[in-house]
Amino acid sequence: MAEIQTQHQTLTFDVKLGLLQKISHNNGSKIVVGEEIGMYTSPGSGAYLFKPEGDAQPIVEAGGNMVISEGPLMQEVFVYPKTAWEQTPISHSTRIYNGDGTIQEFLIEKEYHVELLGKEFNDRELIVRYKTDLDNKRIFYSDLNGFQMSRRETYGKIPLQGNYYPMPSLAFLQGSNGQRFSVHSRQSLGVASLKDGWLEIMLDRRLVRDGRGLGQGVMDNRPMNVIFHILVESNISSTSDPVSNPLPLIPSLLSHCVGAHLNYPLHAFIAKNPQELSVQPLARSFSPLAAPLPCDLHIVNFKVPRPSKYSQQLIEDSRFVLILQRHHWDTSYCLKGRLQQCAIVANEPLSLFNMFKGLAVLNARATSLNLLHDDVEMLGYAEQVGMQLRRDTF
């Protein structure tokens, strides 16, 4: 066994296979992960079909290469596994981060480098499987376009492919003790919980034919990186039984923050030549907000609306559209999501008129998401004075 650890958690790996086996937290809680990489043989599958021949079989053999790197900011385990093929179709890294007061210190980052290239992988579908010790009764939850969760249940009366569900950005298991195992994804994938405690995620597919719809196989595979952020949480109050509760469960506040950190990264742009810079040097920092946003409030979009009658917007008509989403989160998994400096809208209301630094907001009104309707009664808003909200807080 090999281990890497931070002040919050310790990861245990199987040295022979290079796979993550267990996660231990400093409060004494543990969870068996049982990472496994497998492959389906699917001669009947296609672009719109999933018809495997039996279960996915493990492909990792003992004898691969494993490199452990440790530093003050990050610790990483990189594995180039041994498989039956000369060119292995997958390699993977596991990372944990140090940093007080950051989101990264609570998560586990898994990065899979997938290369389903060559005819030896024809009609094969690659998966990763986490065989946890949670008694979820084959019930799990996945999101719908990143906005709400759906309850998923595995049924033994239908084929395996009928128990696969879409996972746009998040899927999690919950045991009877309230412990959760969440996997955040950067791209949409398929997910299933075929046995108690298992969470199986599709990584890539290479298929020769397609019997319906597309009319051709899925043969345009490219090397790709699949990144997951894994989060393990323990319930601090009431426990909801997934079997008796038919309603979908919702993520915690920390889980929302982890998903936003993964899917909305900060992009840095660097000029190639100094001549391309403007005469006035750019500021070394940029902070458009007067104060940090509450953790349960997310800016979905900030844009200038497209004029409906004119090709160019009038200068005196400076308008912009701000779309905000207030997350629905589970308070039984720590009120502030283990982030000490995390505020919520209920405690610190946000003022639209004082939200931006160096920008005066003179007027604000509610509108529909498509910007076509502003009837306050239809939208469900209370009294307004003219076009300005009487209350400018949420």
**Which tens digit of pLDDT belongs to each residue from 342-373?**
888 888 888 888 888 877 788 888 888 877 77
Q: Please write the tens of the pLDDT for every residue from 81-126.
A: 999 999 999 999 999 999 888 889 999 999 999 999 999 999 999 9
Q: Is 327 helix (H, G, I), strand (E, B) or coil?
A: coil
List residues bridging with 110 in a β-sheet: 94, 228
- By C-alpha distance, which of 8, 11, 18 is closest to 33? 11
Q: How far apart are CA 136 and CA 174, in angstroms?
A: 6
- By C-alpha distance, which of 56, 113, 115 is closest to 87? 115
Banded model confidence at residue 389, pLDDT cuts 50, 70, 90: very low
Query: Has domain 2-263 been given CATH number 2.70.98.30?
Result: yes
Report, as an integer, the average pLDDT of 17-23. 96
Is 0.75 surpassed by the pTM of this model?
yes
Q: How far apart are CA 328 and CA 325, in angstroms?
A: 9
List residues bridging with 205 in a β-sheet: 125
